[in-house]
Amino acid sequence: MSSETAASRRGVLLVISSPSGAGKTSLSRRLIADHPELALSVSATTRAPRPGELDGREYHFVDVAAFQKLVNEDAFLEWAEVHEHRYGTPRAPIMQALSVGRDVLFDIDWQGAAAIASRASADTVRVFILPPSMKALAERLHSRAQDAEDVIARRLGRAKGEIAKWADYDYVIVNDDFERAYFELHAIYRAERLRRVRNPWIEVVVAQLMNEEP
C-alpha cells in the first residue's frame, strides 16, 4: 500500500515572510498554483483593498470595530498591527484544514509567523525571503506602483527590522533570481510534506511489510 488513504495525514502550515517587496507574495502564488493540495490562508485586515484585490480572495476586508469583535471572541490564530493596519488569521478554518490533511500557506509578517509557531509549533514550517540588496528592494517597491511614496518610505524604514528576524525561521531563501528561489521553496514544501510525523498512514504500510513473507 503506497497511498495516503491508509490513514489520514496531518497537514502542514507553511509560513512565508519577508520585508515588503522581497517577493513572498509572487512566490506564494506560484506555489499555490502548482499545488492544488495547498490553500492560501485568507487573513482579515482593516486596511483598504489595493487595486485588483477582492474581498475574500486576497483578504477579508473589515472595519476596526468588526476586527476588534473577532479579537474579543478569540477567533484568530494570530493577529498583529502592521504598517498602521491590523491583520489576523481566522482560527477555525485553519485547524479544520490541518485535521483533514490539508496544507495551508501563510503570507504574513514575522509577528504573525511567531504567533502561529507558538500555537502550533509541530505543524508550522517557517520560510523567510530575503532581497538581494536594499537597493533592489526599493526598486521593487517603486516598480509595483501600489503604494504612495510616504508608504514606501515607511516600508523601507522597517525592512531592516524585519530582516533582523531571519534567524527565527527554519529556512531562508535569497530571492535574487525568481526561478531559483521558487525551486528552493518548492523543494522545502515537498520535503516537509514527507516528514514521518505528518504521515501516520506509513505505520500501516510498515505493519503490513513486517507481517509479510518474502
CATH code, domain with 141: 3.40.50.300
- Asked if 130 contacts 175 with a C-beta cutoff of 8 angstroms, the reply is yes
Q: Which burial class, exposed, middle or buried, applies to 12 when counting CB atoms under 10 A from its CB (0-12, 13-18, 19+)?
A: buried
Per the prediction, the chain carries an average pLDDT of 89
pLDDT per position as a tens digit, 77-134: 999 887 789 999 999 989 999 988 999 999 888 988 999 999 899 999 999 999 988 8
Measured distance CA(27)–CA(129) in Å, rounded: 9
Q: What is the pTM of this model?
A: 0.82
Q: b or e along 121-140 (b: 16 or more beta carbons within 10 Å of the residue's beta carbon)? A: eebbbbbbbbbeeeeebbeb
Question: For strand 43-45 and strand 124-130, is the pairing parallel, antiparallel, or unpaired?
Answer: unpaired
Overall number of domains in the chain: 1
Residue 136: predicted pLDDT: 86
Q: Is 105 a member of any domain?
A: yes
Q: Is 58 a member of any domain?
A: no
Q: Is 62 a member of any domain?
A: no
pLDDT per position as a tens digit, 8-44: 789 999 999 999 889 898 999 999 999 999 999 998 9
Q: Is 92 a member of any domain?
A: no
Task: Quote the domain boundaries for residue 105.
Answer: 4-41+101-204
Give the number of other CB atoms < 10 A from CB of residue 70.
18
Radius of gyration (C-alpha) of the chain in whole angstroms? 19
